[in-house]
Amino acid sequence: MSRKRQLLQRHRRNKRVALLIALVGLLLAGVLVAWWLTPLLAVLLWAAHEAWFADHLFYSPKEDYQYRFPAGSQTAALRVEAGRLVPQAPLSLVGDETLIVEVQLKSNLLGRFLDPAVLLSGDRQVFERGVSGKRYLNLTGSAQALAAGELSLRGRYCRVVGDLTLWVFRQPDYARQRVMVIAPHADDAELAAFGLYGQADESWIVTLTAGEIEAEHYQQMGMPKADAARNKGRLRAWDSIAVPRWAGVPEAHCVQLGYFCLQLPAMRATPDQPQASREAEMDDTRLFRQFNAFALPGDVDGAPTWVNLIADLRALLLKARPEVIVLPTPVLDPHPDHIYAHAAVVEALEGLEWQPTTLLGYANHLHDNDRWPMGDSGAGVALPPQLDTDQVLEPCCRVLSLRTQQDKAMALGMMHDLQPRPPFKRRVRRLLQRVLAGRGPSPYGENEFFRKAVRRHELLWVLKQD
């Protein structure tokens, strides 16, 4: 069982216990005080739960984030003086460095009900309600103001306490190299790296699965379950080829491999055995490959096997010869298809005559916090929760202009999977959070990924650097 699933089961178990205790209390209030008190308190408790306690946060906000950065990384001491971040010693920054500041945050009483934030010049980075511990601000793009001591900093519903440490990470401009983005599903490339692949001199987008399952939206149109899944897969296959054109990626550089959603783990377990779609009643990938510009090894028989997947990836790597590969990192992202997409690329590279110089990782999902990145569309992206020091992690961040953010939002809006309205319960929850907890909607769309992904920063992780 995955760690994500274990955390979710523990969260649900604890919630059931809390609900049982609340139910007993409500019944006692109705018996001992007045019958009408039970339904009134039930409504109030439900509204409070939806507004303040419905986030999937699988750790205490009082825990310290525990990052271990590469040995030899440059650090510098900072202090807050008259509401500004001031370096203790002169800083020499070019302007394109990834800049991370380690801080200690302490929320106030309001910060238990409204999202605490650190307000920077032109930015606001949000943290967990009730935060009390070590966190990491992202100052990438603010090098000039920081070096000059002109970067303002103040807490909202929280305060910054103790010493501040700046971490400086210098990396080459990966947009000046050949980039290949590995997307387990259509929209993963856009969520994680639209800015990078749209600005790169040469980009390739390789999507591994059709993402055909969970097609209830199409069943509501009157389609049988299997037909709905096939149509959803065809639409997402089209999206994976067509949407990157919005960023200038040639159609011939966009490839859909057509394997089936959530079947990559089973394919890896029995590499030569086909793994049919869970919902589309099909065991041939070629329907979802029809928009590709050239043939691949898996087109011969269309068998959804791990052997074919590795052969397809090897052929693509030799054809594109990417210098930079952007792919999910299982260190942070628990989605099964993302974990095995990473494993497939690593296996395909073994012994291959072409090797990239850099692997960059991304996380579109987290083990511990389903709301990360917290805060609003357009804001910066602070580092995600990391609660152990087993892994050495090096952040790599790009700054997106407002125009690029808007283009990214339009690209996500073209993705069919992000177009249906959220369920009614989720819309009610967001309304209550807007009214009671001060959380605003994204101007770009209702799907949560518009808030999460359309940001000032695109945060990646250096997994390999030659």
- 215 and 278 fall within a common domain: yes
- 349 and 273 fall within a common domain: yes
CA atoms of 162 and 80, how far apart (whole Å):
10
- 310 and 164 fall within a common domain: no
Q: Which domain holds residue 400?
A: 174-465
Q: What is the pTM of this model?
A: 0.93
- 16 and 44 fall within a common domain: yes
Domain closes at, from 150, 169, 188: 169
Q: What stretch of H or E contains 267?
A: helix 264-269
Residue 110 belongs to some domain of the structure: yes
* Res. 377 pLDDT band, cuts 50 70 90: very high
Residue 246 belongs to some domain of the structure: yes
- Mean pLDDT lowest among 53-67, 213-227, 304-318: 53-67
- 391 and 245 fall within a common domain: yes
- 156 and 210 fall within a common domain: no
Burial of 110 (0-12, 13-18, 19+ CB in 10 A): middle
Residue 42 belongs to some domain of the structure: yes
- pLDDT over 90 (residue 452): yes
pLDDT score at 273: 98
Dihedral angle at the C-alpha atoms of 249, 255, 261, 262, nearest 10 degrees?
-90
- 157 and 199 fall within a common domain: no
Domain closes at, from 169, 202, 234: 169
Burial of 328 (0-12, 13-18, 19+ CB in 10 A): buried
* Res. 8 pLDDT band, cuts 50 70 90: low
- 219 and 119 fall within a common domain: no
Residue type, 228: A
Structure tokens at 257: 């491999």
Q: Which span out of 20-34, 35-49, 377-391, 401-415 was modeled with the highest average pLDDT? A: 401-415
- 441 and 389 fall within a common domain: yes
pLDDT score at 271: 98
- Looking up residue 444, the CATH number of its domain turns out to be 3.40.50.10320
Burial of 13 (0-12, 13-18, 19+ CB in 10 A): exposed
Domain closes at, from 144, 169, 194: 169
- 211 and 312 fall within a common domain: yes
- 356 and 236 fall within a common domain: yes
CA distance between the termini of the chain? 35
Q: What is the number of structural domains in the chain?
A: 3
Residue 148 belongs to some domain of the structure: yes
Structure tokens at 169: 């990470």
CA atoms of 459 and 436, how far apart (whole Å):
30
Residue 67 belongs to some domain of the structure: no
Could you tell me the CA-to-CA distances from 18 to 23, 36, 53 in Å, in that order?
A: 9, 22, 12
Residue 59 belongs to some domain of the structure: no
- Name 259's bridge partners: 209
- Looking up residue 165, the CATH number of its domain turns out to be 2.60.120
Question: How is 61-126 classified by DSSP, letter by letter?
Answer: TTSPP--BPPTT-EEEEEEEETTEEEESS-----S-SEEEEEEEEEE-SGGGTS--EEEETTEEEE
